[in-house]
Amino acid sequence: MKAHLITYGCQMNEYDTHLVQSQLVSFGAAIVDTVDEADFVLINTCAVRGKPVEKVRSVLGTLRKTKAQRPLVVGMMGCLAQLDEGQQMARKFGVDVLLGPGSLLDIGKALEGNERFWGLAFKDELHDHIPPPPTGKLQAHLTIMRGCDHHCTYCIVPTTRGPQVSRHPDDIRRELDTLLSAGVQEVTLLGQNVNAYGVDGGARLGGYPSFAGLLRLVGQSGIRRIKFTTSHPMNFTEDVAAAMAETPAVCEFVHLPVQSGSNRVLRRMAREYTREKYLTHIAEIRRHLPDAVLATDIIVGFPGETEEDFQETLSLYDEVGYDSAYMFAYSARPGTPSYKHFEDLPREVKTERLSRLIARQKEWSARKNAEKVGTVQEVLLRGDAHDPAFLEGHTRGNHPTVVPKAIGAAGAGIYAVRIEHATPHMMYGRILDAQGRELPEQPRLDPASAALSAPLAMA
């Protein structure tokens, strides 16, 4: 079998894709780069917003035409596969294999005999499986929990991924050991709400540390850089900030989604915290990590949001001064309370507000990145940039960074880099040696060049 996998959505989906790929390879399948090479195409889907759902619909339409021309098995997995919407789509487009987020280890059973298989149960034994480490990469994801016990009115995750199930720390350590042995130097801990690790269904699990304790534990593993995503402010504790400051391997990057700066909107979202409580968390982070890089998620145009509510979001953005943000216009998702009970705002209102927020974010990102010019940053370089004479990577604070290749630094690795230029979304620098001197034969950077100005994906 030649298999090709297409992934939409979050880093958890990327991890799940890797898990399924490892299963397929263990069955003797070859992973290929294109649909044209494949006789099995599996789409890992996202249902959080409408846009990735429409992308899946479009791909399935194309694959149905391909199936009419040659033998091809098509599969869907992930959050959309768990929903009635996704199952109806699967029937319409003739999907052969359907796997929910908790049935990923059933991929072999699903393909056996090439019969349609509808496996949708949430299964805890996923946590017992240790996928092989990624080949030839310095970065890796590591799932520490699945599901979520919160019920934000806009969010479909509790429906698609089930209640929170924390992974046993022994299994986390075992996977860390495999990553270390493979040469991985940066690990991102994944969960729908990492701050609630070890407290499933509202009860502390025996033998499980708090998330702060887990950070300290992972920090002793030998991994050079540790990140985590994502956090819910309701479960954030100052001990997490303290653990970050006390554990050198943990990067000073905090992604703390706020979603709105208006208490009225936060209540309608059922976020369980106020603007004021959120700001106390920001103060706690900065008390322990004065140079922390802060990122957030913001939903614009939630049902009932007024211009006054939106202005409160803009003022919160200015009060915090985020380095970056993931910003979205509200997307009504079938199956969520907000879809059922609230009336959506006009599309043009949401689009106009989103454009204003993006402009504000660019101002802050430009200001924050400009402060890094002249500083030396630790950068993990992943490999070639758009121009093969340059390398791309990211700092400990997750800033996308481009540097020229140099003698002694022609490939992936962690290097000291002096930042020479910055834009709102990119930093440019030059590699230094152990004495702080520039490595030889580095071409001068031209940030305006087409090869370097194209946006690079954040890790």
Binding residues for [4Fe-4S] cluster: 10, 46, 79, 148, 152, 155
Question: Which amino acids are annotated as binding site, given as ranges?
Answer: 10, 46, 79, 148, 152, 155
What number of CA atoms fall less than 13 Å from residue 140's CA on the CB side?
Answer: 28
Structure tokens at 30: 């070859």
Q: Are strands 117-119 and 139-143 parallel, antiparallel or unpaired?
A: unpaired
Distance of alpha carbon 265 from alpha carbon 262, whole angstroms = 5
Tokens of 61: 């339409």
- Eight-class DSSP state of 228: E
- Under a CB-based contact definition with an 8 Å cutoff, are residues 79 and 45 in contact? yes
Please tell me whether the peptide bond between 230 and the residue prior to it is cis, using omega within 30 degrees of 0: yes
